[in-house]
Amino acid sequence: MSHLAIASYFRGTISTLEKEFQIPSSFIGLIGSAGDVGLILTTLSVTYLGKRSHKTRWVAYGTYLVVLGCFIRLIPYWLYGGGQSTIDYSKSELTTQKNNITHLCGKSFKEPENCEDASSGSVSAYIFLIASFVHGFGCSIYYTLGMAYLDDNAKKSKGAVMIVLSLVLTMFGSTIGFLLASFSLKFYIDPGVTPDFGTTDPRWIGAWWLGWGPLGVMTLVFAIMMSMFPRTLPRAMQRKVKAAVAAGRSYVPEEIPKPSLEDFWKTMKRLFKNKILMCNNLSTTFIIFGYDGQMLFLPKYMETQFNISATASNLATGSIGLLCTAAGLLVSAFFIFKFKPRARYLAAWNVFTEMMDVVGFLSILMISCESLNFQWSTLPDGGKTIDMPCNSNCACDSSIKYSPVCHLSSRETFFSPCHAGCQDSFFSQNGTKVFSDCSCTADNGPVLDGPCPLDCRSAFIIFIVVQCVQRFLGATGRAGNCLIQFRCVDVADKAVAFALLEVLLCVFVFIPGPILYGHLIDMTCTLWGMTCGKTGNCWIYDAEKLRYYVYMPIFGCLFIGTLWDIGVWYFVKDLQMYDDDELTKDLELKDSKARDKKSRFKALAIAFGGN
C-alpha cells in the first residue's frame, strides 16, 4: 500500500515540480523511469536468491530502501526552501512595486535573472532522479517475492481472494497518495508567504514537499512489521502436513537446493518455453505500456485539458477512479471464489474487457473543451511570438516571467500586462487587480490579473464517467490474469516468473514509456518558459494535439495486447486452476443440493396427490 501511495504522490505533484524547478515533461519521464534501470540489473538475481531464503525479510530490506528514497526527495526543499517562487510572489511592498514597474508597458527595465536558482533546479532534478532509482530498486522486491509469498501461504481456492484483497489495499494506498497530494498542494510552497493569486492560477506553486515525511514514516512502520513475519505461516504449514498424511507419508520439509548458475538457466529456459506465460507476459506488456503513460501524467493531463487546479485533479484521480478499480477487483474476487470458472472463461473475459477499453479510449478522443484564447503573432516561418505590433513600443523585456492577464469582454489572454500594452494598474473595491490603458485590446474594457476562466465542467464529468467504467471493467480481469500467471508455472518457479514479467515491463514499458509520453506531451507545448537562456517548463499546451498525442498510442497498444490475450485464451484450455480435492467438494455440494431440490419437489407432488 505504501509503495503505491508514494508513486501516486509523486504523480500528483508532477506539474508543480515542473513549474518550481523548470523541468520539462521529458525529464520528468526520465525520473519516472530511473527506478527501473537498477531494477532490471537486480530483479531476476535477487528474486532467484530470495525464493530460496526468507522472502519477507528480503521484502523488508527493500522497503527500507523505499523509506530512504522518500527522505532523499526532501533534500531540494532542505537546501533551497521555496526558491525563487517565494521571492517573486511575496506580498511585501517592495516586491509588489517591483512587479508593477517591470510588467507595465513603457515602464519595463531588465529584471535580473536568478541563474543560481535555475542551477538549483537542475541539481534538484537529479536528486529526484537518484531518489527514484533507490525507490524502484526497493519496491521491485515486494512485487516479486511479496506476491509469491502471498500465493504460497494461501489455499488455491482462496488465491484469487487474497490477491484481490492485496490489490484493493494497494488501491487504497494510491488513493492516500493522491489525496495527500491534493491536500499538500492547497498550501503555497512556503506557508509563510501568501501570493495574490489562487490555486487555479498557473503561477501557483503548491507545497510539494509536505507529504514525503509522513509517507516515509508510514513505510518505515510497514517495513518493521514485514521483517517480523515467519518464513511460512502456521496455517500453510498445517496444510502441508495434512496433505502429506492424506497421501500416506510423513511430512518432510522441502529441501532447498543451493542456488547455482546452471539451475538458474534451466529455470529461465523452462519459463521461455511456456506458451501461456509468454503470451500473458506480452499481453500485459503492451496493455501496461498504454496505461502507464496515461497514469503518470493523468493529473497533469486533466489540469491542462479541463483547466482545473492540481488539487482538484488529484482529488478526482485518487478518489473516483481508484474506487471504481477497487469495486471491480472485489466483484471479480467474489465471482472467482463463488463459481470457480475455468481458465478459458477467465481469459475470454480478459479479451472482452480489453475490447471495451479500446472503445473507451476512442470515446475519450472526442471529449474536448474550449482552448485558452492566447494572443500572439505568427512569424513568417510559422512560429509564434508574444511580441506583437500592438506592444512593440512597450519594450517588454524577455526576462518577464509568465504573468497572464485576461481581457474580459473578448476573453483574450496575454502573456503579461506589458504584452497586453497596459500602462497603469489599480486595485478594485473587492481587491481585484485591474490593468488599464491597454493598447492590445479592442476596447477600453477591464483587463484582470490571471488567465481567462474556461468552463470545462461538462467535459470533465464525461471524462471521469468514461474513466470509471474503464477502471471497473479492467479491474474485473486482473485477478483472473494474476491467477493464470501463477498457475501456468511450477510452484518453485512462481517468484522467478513474476520477476521475468517485471523485467520485461521495465525494459519495454517503465523505462521507455514515461520518457516517450513525456516527449509527446512536450511536442504539444506552445509556450515555453525561459530561464537564463535555457528552456524550462511549459506554460501552455495545444489541448487538441495533447489529446491525440496521448491517447492514440494507448489505443494502439491496447489493440495489440488484446491479440496476445486471444493467444492466452487458446492455450489455457487444459490449465488446472484449483486443487482437485476442492473441486471434488464443490461438485459433491452441488450434487447434494440438486438431490435435495429433487426430493422436495417429489414430496410436494405427493402432497398434492401426485404419484
Note whether residue 249 is domain-resident. no
Whether residues 154 and 293 fall in one domain: yes
> Tell me: the pLDDT tens digits for 371-411?
888 888 877 776 778 888 888 888 887 777 788 899 988 88
Determine the Cα angle at 266 with ends 262 and 267, to 5°. Answer: 115
Instruction: In whole angstroms, give the CA distance from residue 226 to residue 369.
Output: 47
Whether residues 52 and 167 fall in one domain: yes
Task: Give me the residue label for grid cell 461438485.
Answer: 587
Residue 92 pLDDT greater than 50, yes or no: no
Single out the residue in 389, 423, 449 at which a domain terminates.
449
Note whether residue 533 is domain-resident. yes
Regarding predicted confidence, which is higher, 583 or 540?
Answer: 540
Whether residues 149 and 268 fall in one domain: yes
Instruction: In whole angstroms, give the CA distance from residue 465 to residue 487.
Output: 35
Which pLDDT score is estimated for 378?
75
Which residues span the domain enclosing 445? 377-449
Note whether residue 265 is domain-resident. yes
Note whether residue 240 is domain-resident. no
Whether residues 564 and 584 fall in one domain: no
Whether residues 170 and 29 fall in one domain: yes
Note whether residue 220 is domain-resident. yes
Ranges of H-type helices in 410-511: 457-476, 478-487, 494-505
Residue 591 pLDDT greater than 70, yes or no: no
Single out the residue in 409, 427, 449 at which a domain terminates.
449
Between the CA of residue 434 and those of 419, 427, 444, 483, 513, what are the distances in Å? 15, 6, 12, 62, 44
Regarding predicted confidence, which is higher, 223 or 94?
Answer: 223
> Tell me: the pLDDT tens digits for 229-255?
777 666 666 666 666 656 666 655 555
Q: Is the CB of residue 299 less than 8 Å from the CB of residue 12?
A: yes
CB under 8 A, 24+ apart: contacts of 182-185: 182/12, 182/310, 182/311, 182/312, 182/314, 182/315, 182/318, 183/210, 183/211, 183/311, 184/13, 184/208, 184/209, 184/210, 184/211, 185/12, 185/13, 185/16, 185/309, 185/310, 185/311, 185/314
Q: Is the CB of residue 225 less than 8 Å from the CB of residue 337?
A: no
Whether residues 153 and 219 fall in one domain: yes
Q: Is the CB of residue 60 less than 8 Å from the CB of residue 135?
A: no
CATH of residue 356: 1.20.1250.20
Instruction: In whole angstroms, give the CA distance from residue 308 to residue 305.
Output: 8
Q: How large a percentage of the chain has pLDDT more than 90? A: 16
Whether residues 345 and 381 fall in one domain: no
Q: How confident is the model at residue 606 (pLDDT cuts 50, 70, 90)?
A: low
CB count within 10 Å of CB 276 equals 22
Whether residues 485 and 590 fall in one domain: no
Ranges of H-type helices in 25-158: 25-50, 55-72, 75-80, 83-88, 93-103, 115-141, 147-152
Task: Give me the residue label for grid cell 492516500.
Answer: 176
Whether residues 205 and 303 fall in one domain: yes
Single out the residue in 423, 449, 475 at which a domain terminates.
449
- Number of domains present in the structure of the chain: 3
Q: Does the predicted TM-score (pTM) go above 0.85? A: no
Note whether residue 250 is domain-resident. no
Residue type, 450: G
Whether residues 343 and 416 fall in one domain: no
Q: Is the CB of residue 394 less than 8 Å from the CB of residue 105?
A: yes
Residue type, 610: G
Whether residues 437 and 531 fall in one domain: no
Note whether residue 147 is domain-resident. yes
Q: Is the CB of residue 186 less than 8 Å from the CB of residue 369?
A: no
Note whether residue 252 is domain-resident. no
Whether residues 206 and 355 fall in one domain: yes
Which pLDDT score is estimated for 255?
56
> Tell me: the pLDDT tens digits for 46-71?
666 655 667 778 888 888 989 999 99
